[in-house]
Amino acid sequence: MGLLDGKVAIVTGAGGGLGRCHALAFAKEGARVVVNDYGVARDGTGPGTTMGDGVVKEIRADGGETVANYDSVATMAGAQAIVQTAVNAFGRVDILVNNAGILRDKTLLKMDEAMWDTVIAVHLKGTFAVTQAAARRMVEQNQGGRIINTSSASGLIGNFGQANYGAAKAGIAGFTRVAAIEFAKHGITVNAIVPVAKTRMTEGISAVPDEFGPEKVSPFVVFLASDLGKDVTGRVFGIRGREILEYKYKITDGARATGDAWTAQEIADRFKEITR
């Protein structure tokens, strides 16, 4: 028996890289999988069906049940169509992995409005749109669910030339925590991963070793999607090759003003105490 027997999973951006590996791993664990991929290039241009169809063929060749979906995550209508594909084909939705993404890197002073809007739309709005559509179905089913979002160190730590991407990915981490709080009463867990893997999104980044294959990230996604991770929610995890870690926010003990209110000079004098 597989860890995901009887479950229906949606993986967005599943035509290659991380999404493909997640979809294949889910199918091997018994899930029926909706392979969503808009089929675009790394920068979000030129939609097509080839990539998604290829992953569907791989899953079916291995005896799995799957269907393709080619809608964009960046519109509410597209998100609803993705979820409806799962319902039409398999009758339900149990697991969602928000993985779809594009890159349009440029420094802030050179970035134009379209570069900003398009990246935010695919990553941040796309995560919201598909999550909302899938969660509504999960609530109707009244059997809980699993949602796994994809953040990035570019958002949580920062990276040169990726203000649009970093802002979106930081937003996804915050969105994850809020969604986890709101969905807890419905038995739906929401977590985020921060993967470091060699894919077409990172192929030009020398800091990502070739041995960090995307398939090394998927076992943790399976864990979160299965009953093994049923008590884990509202958290952000990094996966880097053989290493798994958790991102946590730290709050210092701070300091209290000596008078009724802080002055700029007192802040300067006690800055080390405030930030210690």
Q: What is the DSSP string of 187-229?
A: TEEEEEEEEE--STTTTT-TTS-TT--GGGTHHHHHHHHSGGG
Can you tell me the mean pLDDT for 181-204? 83
Give the pair of three-digit tokens for residue 186.
């419905």
Indicate the pTM of the whole model.
0.93
Give the pLDDT of residue 229: 98
CATH fit for domain 8-250, picks 3.40.50.150, 3.40.50.1260, 3.40.50.720, 3.40.640.10:
3.40.50.720
Three-class secondary structure of residue 36 per DSSP? strand
Give the pLDDT of residue 103: 93
Give the pLDDT of residue 198: 44
* E strand or H helix at 81: helix 76-90
| Rounded Cα gap, residues 190 and 147, in angstroms | 5
| Rounded Cα gap, residues 63 and 77, in angstroms | 31
| Rounded Cα gap, residues 234 and 87, in angstroms | 26
Give the pair of three-digit tokens for residue 5.
């027997």
Can you tell me the mean pLDDT for 168-178? 98
pLDDT at residue 268 greater than cutoff 80: yes
Catalytic residue ranges: 165
- Comparing 125 with 44, the larger pLDDT belongs to 125
Give the pLDDT of residue 87: 98
Neighbours of 37 (CB within 10 A): 31
Whether 19 and 11 have beta carbons less than 8 Å apart is answered as yes
Give the pair of three-digit tokens for residue 242.
């053989």
Tell me how many degrees the CA angle 141-147-153 measures, rounded to the nearest 5: 170
Can you tell me the mean pLDDT for 106-122? 98
Measured between alpha carbons, how far is residue 267 from residues 84, 112, 273 in Å? 55, 37, 9
Residue with structure tokens 């943790």?
220
Burial 144-169 (b: 16+ CB within 10 A, else e): ebbbbbbbbbbbbeebeebbbbbbbb
Closest CA to 92 of 8, 187, 4: 8
Give the pair of three-digit tokens for residue 161.
């030339």
